[in-house]
Amino acid sequence: MENKTFRLSSNFTLVLKIFLPTFWIVFFGMFCLMAILLPGDTMPFFRQPIVRLSILILFAFFLLLFYFTIMSLKRVDASKEHIFISNYFKAYRYKLVDIETVKELDFGITNVVKLVLKEKGKMGKKPFFLLNSATFKAYLEMYPENYQYFTLKSMSQSGK
């Protein structure tokens, strides 16, 4: 039997992690620059310092929000004996036995899974990803012995 690899994370991770923050930073960043650098005669609304400061604070807030949430998402693949964690630029391989616990958060539309590794790796001790339920079920059907590493609430509710 071949050692097939399954992508456990959702394809939507790429959109959330790379495209959304890039477009938001570029377009809202340009708006901030325009609001701050344009003279007040051109756009009188932006003449007030409170408006300029509010726009800058809003930009910084969302930049931090993106950085600590969606830009931290990882792509996760799994094979029979290993789990591969990637940030779309570098990928690292860990053994399944290196997983300490798996925690799942249900957001209705999607589930976020946080892996807690026994030791800190190159991608951190607690990488998290958006779950692709269909490929995860297919992975567990092909490798039922790996169910012990991934005990998720959503899989037990749907009958494994």
**pLDDT, position 159:** 46
- Tokens 């991608």, located at residue: 123
**pLDDT, position 135:** 93
**pLDDT, position 8:** 94
pTM: 0.80
Positions in the chain short of pLDDT 50: 158-160
Q: Where are the alpha helices (DSSP H) in the chain?
A: 12-14, 20-37, 49-68, 133-142, 153-157
CATH code of 72-157, in short, is 2.30.29
Cβ–Cβ under 8 Å, residues 21 and 72: no
**pLDDT, position 160:** 44
How distant, in Å, are the alpha carbons of 27, 54, 74 from that of 85? 30, 38, 6
**pLDDT, position 130:** 94
Tokens of 91: 């990928």
Domain boundaries defined on the chain? 12-70, 72-157
Cβ–Cβ under 8 Å, residues 143 and 8: no
How many CB atoms neighbour CB 122 within 10 A? 11
**pLDDT, position 41:** 74
Tokens of 99: 């997983």
**pLDDT, position 110:** 85
How distant, in Å, are the alpha carbons of 19, 45, 62, 92 from that of 110? 19, 40, 21, 25
